[in-house]
Structure 1
Amino acid sequence: MILRRPSLPWPSPAWPTRSGTLAGLLLALLGAWLLGAFSGSLGLSPRLLLGEWPSSSDWQVWWQLRLPRLLLASLVGAMLAGSGAAMQGLFRNPLADPSLLGLASGAGLAVALWIVLLGGSGLYGQFLAGFLGALAVCLLVFRLGAQRPGQEALFTLLLAGLAINTLTGAFGGLLAFVASDEQLRQLSLWGMGSLAHALWPAAIGALLCIPPALLWLLRTARGLDLLQLGEFTAHGAGLDARALKRRVILATALGVGVCVALAGIIGFLGLLVPHCLRLWLGPGHRLLLPASMLGGALLLLVADTLARTLASPAEIPVGLLTSLLGGPYFLWLLLRRRA
């Protein structure tokens, strides 16, 4: 018997829509880069865009401070939003998100353990700790909620995320109690989400780890589309659902773990961006995944620029700004679903 590949329950976006959406996001991202490059307590002259040769101080500000920070904000935003879109497709649940499900807090607890109990200060040790913490939480949450239907899955996911966030918060409080003053300041700033220490070592680490995870997620787009039809139908179309789940879980755990290790806990970005774009573009992941990555990079760049400029020369933790956006949106979303 020959199995026909099932058609997807939504039309593929027309090429002008797809190319126009991605082109618009790219142009907005370029504008956010320019805004971020010339904004801050150490301002750069916009005349540099006209070919004026930069002074040595301008060059140092651009090369040592602005460029690595812009790179890191772009990569972290793309990873958080892209992983949120992939997890929503994997769980077939529009409320799945790395922060709501506890991945970010699990990675954060692992990094805090590395800093406080093991005395670790190495960047790559933080990478490994964040990856292992996010992977453990991701496997646990997937085990609890992936096989449950409909509203039961939603309820289970929210309860699992609440329990994990509560437990990690309690253990984090214990670690803060035994931490030294220097470790406590580091944990406090890092727990609110900040790019204040974004220098070249962090940017290079992100360049080595995050783009492979993003590419890995992009390769799952067709499989995630088929999975929306149900695992039985997807299997009939030739999809190995177990392999797809492993790829999404590993890529998400790697990316989110690295993001948390470098920038702290930045909440709601993985929920806000893909959910808004899903309402606009539809559920097809071949467009939704790259659009979410670009949208996440754009939103975090804008939020980080505001964090650097609103209280200049001081900085607001960027995680506070994303939470101020995401918290009300999440409440509105719950009220809308209830209505």
Structure 2
Amino acid sequence: MTNTEWTATDIPDQSGRTAVITGANTGLGFETAAALAQRGAHVVLAVRNLDKGKDAADRIAARAPGAAVTLQRLDLSSLDSVRTAAAELRATHERIDLLINNAGVMWTPKSTTADGFELQLGTNHLGHFALTGLLLDHILPVPGSRIVTVSSGAHRFGASIHFDDLQSERRYSRTGAYGQSKLANLLFAYELQRRLAGKSTTLSVAAHPGGSNTELARNTSPLVQTLFDRLLVPLMTQDAAHGALPSLRAATDPQVTGGQYYGPDGIGEMRGHPKVVKSNAKSHDQAVQRRLWTVSEELTGVVYPV
């Protein structure tokens, strides 16, 4: 097997492992959960809508008869929901082998979370930051445990962490806010790995799906959606099952090391087989990583033990 040929068939046996996947009722999260369930993992679908989650669980069971699939209600745009979900997960699962921070919103109209955060930053970064911190004591003691945070190629496109206007109150751009949230995902993943190094066998790894044809772009205008469907989908995107492969490799490949970033190997990292890819220089700025970490702890009230 070469580096460019990794597929879902290369996922090692996951029997006895518990995997919590956010946003697992559709798209990338669903395909990630289904693939892990097919390899024997007990998958927990952490979803906002339990009816959609039940439908996803039924579809996974149809693919993998006998699979262990449970549901957990989680709304990442509410810290109360994150805290409740974390408490319930801690009560029902003695160990968490994999936490895959997959859920996200993209290009939303200007709006805020229940806690007053800009919706994309609050959901994509702050919600996952809080959830991870609250579950960490059930992850760190588990040999070979991993935390996979899903970012995007959008972190490259002029995105910065605007500490002077973090919640986009003075100026809002759908694409800019999305890029900031995806850059934040990477800054978090890298800073977490640095804090874990030498203290735990838990790995923090990042991934991005490339151009995947999912429901994530549902907030685009009708004109943009039409152009996307007619021009970009055939040329630059892949289905959700292929888009999930970077996350799956980051979560399961024994050769993965902490702090790596996985994405497709094709042109522009839009499609293809998963491999280690590079993120931009801003994502590796340790001063920004530390500052965002401190701000995230202050905003969420979740202080990490590392």
Q: Is this a same-fold pair by TM over 0.5?
A: no
Larger RCO, structure (CA 8 Å, separation 6 or more):
1
Q: TM-score, normalised by structure 2?
A: 0.27
Q: Specify which structure has the higher proportion of helix.
A: 1
Q: Specify which structure has the higher proportion of strand.
A: 2
Kindly name which structure, 1 or 2, has the bigger radius of gyration based on alpha carbons.
1
